[in-house]
Structure 1
Amino acid sequence: MNLSLKVKLTISYVLLSLFLVSSLLFASNYFLENKFQSYIANTQEKKNQDIVNLVTDEFSANGEFPSEDSLENIGHTALSQGLILMVNDLKNNQLFCMSTLDSQMCDNMLESMRSNMAKIYPNFNGQYKENNYDVLKNGKKVATVTLGYYGPYFYNDEDIQFIQVLNKVFISIGILFLMIAAFLGFYMANRISMPIKKVINKTTQIEAGNYSERLTLVSKTNEINQLIHSVNILADTLEKQQISKKRMARDYAHEFRTPLAALQSNLEAMIDGILEPTPERLESCRVEILRLTRMISDIDKIVQIENDSLKLEKTKFDLVNVIHQIVSNFQPELSNQNIQIHISTKPCEIYADKDKIIQVIVNLLSNAIKYTDSGGKIQVAANKYGNKAELILSDTGVGIEEEDLPNIFDHLYRTDKSRDRNTGGSGIGLSVVKAIVDAHGGHIEVKSELYKGSQFIVTFPL
């Protein structure tokens, strides 16, 4: 059975409180009961001594025995306190016995004690006991007092009433604490579950495609604040992806439409005999088809990145040699655009996927050349520090607007809003670069100032 978080937390609070209260009440009752039993035993001994003193006072100074009436009065007093009085002389002859005087009353008293103790302690192992006390007059023993009672201890009616009241107090306190625990549990569970419910509602909106709103709730629980922050970040990311996908659909719809329209018009004209299928016209159609092929290849790259299917085949190689090789391949293009390039490197051997690292450098250098005007400068630097390798590529190109910097590594994002592939590219290069760097456990950042140039800093673990 599935239960809500609020119900589970409330039940947890109640069960925990029940355990704690029960343990506390049990321990309190146990120790209090032990103390009470000790108190009853001490009180019983005090009663015994009082009865012995009463009997002693009845003896004369020279040790003459008291009258039977006085002993009978003391016997009734003792009986009212749960004691059966017996007095023997020095020769152990019985002078007085309350049980002999009124055996029915004594039996009833002992049965009442046994019944009282059985009510409280069903397994109480009690039995009739007798204690002997010497009667001393002027330092001489004149008689022996024997007191019989139900032991090892017994509760009278007042004691039982006290215990019953005490148990009722304990039960009332336990019920009160449980009610307070249930209230506090419900209150705390509501405090905890309420922001989680709001997070759930927000994630439901995200699931429905509403990424615009953000959670502004602030909780006093760190984990809930982290959850709220994560949900907001998720909404930001999904919103950016949604914008990126819409832009992708818009851009590619625009770019597919143009070559397809040109192909369609040319082919229909040649089929209808309006135009001659000359080699030049066929070549023009082939160029458009190649353009469509390149765009489809870009889409394949996006799918590869989205599926995290970048597989690395790592080997050891010198990053400096790779940089010089790539720059050499770009030399004709650099010369044609009158761009100066300066290489500043130190030996730097890394363990990485060589082909992927080449792709990173090619994409960054290609972008630098594309956005650097004639007469500009590009600088490539590579070195290592600690357990990392660093690649820095700087240019004096047009730079990147500040509002574009957070998005340049997004798929299909282009700072050129005209969607001209000849100037703005496909928007794939930098997203591929970041995917490769991330796959290597590296980091990439960009610093740029409009009309002054850009600097890309890439770090890899050696």
Structure 2
Amino acid sequence: MSSLEPKRAIGPPHTLQSAVAVVAPRHTGPVPGTLLVALDSLSSPLLVPTRLLTWGLVALGVTALCWWPFLHGVATSVGRLEQATARIAEGQFATTVGITRDDELGRLAESVEQMAGRLDQLVVGQKRFLSDTAHELRSPLGHMRVALELLKRQFDGAEQRHLADLEEDVAAMSQLTDDLLTLAKADLGTRALDLAPVSVADGVARAVERENRPDVTINVDVPPDARVRADRDLFIRAIANLLRNAVRYAGEFGPVSVGAEVTADTVDVVVADQGPGVPADALERLLTPFYRHDQSRDRRSGGVGLGLSIVQKAVERCGGTVQCKNLVPNGLEVRLTWQRAV
């Protein structure tokens, strides 16, 4: 055997045990050189941070894989809860969350569904109460109007003036009960609607005939062939209520205009006036029942705040939408979007 002799050592003397040595044989002959690596070099301190980082990344990956299904399920459930509560806030009380879990999120979803069901019962009960009350009031109010007509034939002079005031109050109560009954029926959907093609020009003409006044100008610009898919009575009622509001609140400022814009799928009926408009923060509440943005108005000067609510319910029952906006420099525009009839 030939002895081997170190030719070069890598590293300082005190780490020679962990060094890499390159040696060559001392004897002559065709024996190739040999590279010797110390086995304990793998435990070099330089390799420790890399090994820890590798194992840390592996542990992090395993943890993520284990927790991902749970975190994904929680995020999905929270998203469904958020969507459900948003629909409930819009008045869609028949909303279901659709979460089947045995933890706190599952119990929360069950509570939300129970709350929505309870709200639905309360709102439907309130609407039925309004409908029944308005229906029951119609008969006595009718009798009162007949009695007033008989009294007017028996009295004259000052008595006639008092009877006229009483007749005006009875007429206002009759209008209120009719509005309440219309609103309740539209909310409850007690009558099955027969949506059919309705002539926009004919419906607008009927509405103008109902609400026209000698001291107010109503300009109509509607294509004669425009037709919408709607219930005819609800269509006329919606246009008439808009005209009544415009004539009452803005008729003194200028003409009221009624137009129609026809697209491939829809027909927009637009009623606009030249009045002062409404405050910007009141636009979103204009369609709320019993809302009056000017609280100084009483029943005689401003109604009870049901006109635009009835408009919205009538249009929505027919599958349409209502939008309100202020015009520049002044005026209010209400746009009713209906499905176009072929």
SS in 2 for 1:306: helix
Hey, what's the Cα distance between the residues in 1 that align with 2:189 and 2:308? Answer: 16
**Contact 2:289–2:306 (CA under 8 A) maintained in structure 1:** yes
Cα distance, 1:229 vs. partner? 4.2
SS in 2 for 1:389: strand
Equivalent residue, structure 2, for 1:353: 231
- Pick the aligned partner of 1:336 from 215, 231, 234: 215
Q: Any stretches of 5+ residues in structure 1 without a counterpart? A: 1-179, 194-220, 250-276
Aligned residue pairs total 218
Cα distance, 1:315 vs. partner? 3.4
Cα distance, 1:413 vs. partner? 1.6
Hey, what's the Cα distance between the residues in 2 that align with 1:348 and 1:382? Answer: 8
The 3 A distance-change label for structure 1 pair 407 and 364 is same
Structure 1 stretch displaced more, 296-305 or 436-445: 296-305
Cα distance, 1:302 vs. partner? 3.5
- Pick the aligned partner of 1:447 from 318, 322, 325: 325
- Pick the aligned partner of 1:384 from 258, 262, 276: 262
CA shift digits 1:51-83 (9 cap, x unpaired): xxxxxxxxxxxxxxxxxxxxxxxxxxxxxxxxx
**Contact 1:320–1:382 (CA under 8 A) maintained in structure 2:** no
TM-score (norm 1): 0.41
The 3 A distance-change label for structure 1 pair 298 and 436 is closer
The 3 A distance-change label for structure 1 pair 278 and 437 is closer
Equivalent residue, structure 1, for 2:51: none
Q: How does 1:160-309 map to 2 (within 5 A)?
A: 221-232=75-86, 234-235=88-89, 281=162, 284-309=165-190
Q: Any stretches of 5+ residues in structure 2 without a counterpart? A: 1-61, 94-118, 131-157
Hey, what's the Cα distance between the residues in 1 that align with 2:206 and 2:176? Answer: 27
Cα distance, 1:235 vs. partner? 4.5
Cα distance, 1:287 vs. partner? 4.2
Cα distance, 1:299 vs. partner? 3.0
1:431 is matched by which residue type in structure 2? S
The 3 A distance-change label for structure 1 pair 369 and 310 is farther
CA shift digits 1:138-193 (9 cap, x unpaired): xxxxxxxxxxxxxxxxxxxxxxxxxxxxxxxxxxxxxxxxxx99xx68x9659956
SS in 1 for 2:319: coil
**Contact 2:258–2:271 (CA under 8 A) maintained in structure 1:** yes
CA shift digits 1:374-430 (9 cap, x unpaired): 251222112421122221111111211111111111222222213512232221111
**Contact 2:200–2:224 (CA under 8 A) maintained in structure 1:** no
Hey, what's the Cα distance between the residues in 2 that align with 1:346 and 1:383? Answer: 12
The 3 A distance-change label for structure 1 pair 450 and 429 is farther
TM-score (norm 2): 0.53
**Contact 2:260–2:269 (CA under 8 A) maintained in structure 1:** yes
Cα distance, 1:330 vs. partner? 3.8
2:215 is matched by which residue type in structure 1? N
The 3 A distance-change label for structure 1 pair 310 and 458 is farther
**Contact 1:447–1:455 (CA under 8 A) maintained in structure 2:** yes
SS in 1 for 2:334: strand
Cα distance, 1:342 vs. partner? 4.3
Equivalent residue, structure 1, for 2:40: none
**Contact 2:270–2:335 (CA under 8 A) maintained in structure 1:** yes
Hey, what's the Cα distance between the residues in 2 that align with 1:377 and 1:290? Answer: 27
Equivalent residue, structure 1, for 2:274: 396
Q: How does 1:46-125 map to 2 (within 5 A)?
A: none
- The percent of aligned pairs where both chains have the same amino acid is 20
CA shift digits 1:92-141 (9 cap, x unpaired): xxxxxxxxxxxxxxxxxxxxxxxxxxxxxxxxxxxxxxxxxxxxxxxxxx
SS in 1 for 2:292: coil
The 3 A distance-change label for structure 1 pair 230 and 373 is same
Hey, what's the Cα distance between the residues in 2 that align with 1:450 and 1:362? Answer: 24
The 3 A distance-change label for structure 1 pair 385 and 453 is same
The 3 A distance-change label for structure 1 pair 396 and 287 is closer
Hey, what's the Cα distance between the residues in 1 that align with 2:251 and 2:174? Answer: 29
Hey, what's the Cα distance between the residues in 2 that align with 1:288 and 1:367? Answer: 19
CA RMSD of aligned residues (A): 3.7
- Larger Rg over CA atoms: 1
Cα distance, 1:289 vs. partner? 3.9
Hey, what's the Cα distance between the residues in 2 that align with 1:392 and 1:378? Answer: 11
Equivalent residue, structure 1, for 2:3: none
SS in 2 for 1:316: strand
Runs of 4+ with >6 A deviation: none
The 3 A distance-change label for structure 1 pair 345 and 425 is farther
Cα distance, 1:358 vs. partner? 0.5
Equivalent residue, structure 1, for 2:205: 324
Hey, what's the Cα distance between the residues in 2 that align with 1:308 and 1:447? Answer: 28
SS in 2 for 1:225: helix
SS in 2 for 1:374: helix
Hey, what's the Cα distance between the residues in 2 that align with 1:388 and 1:427? Answer: 28
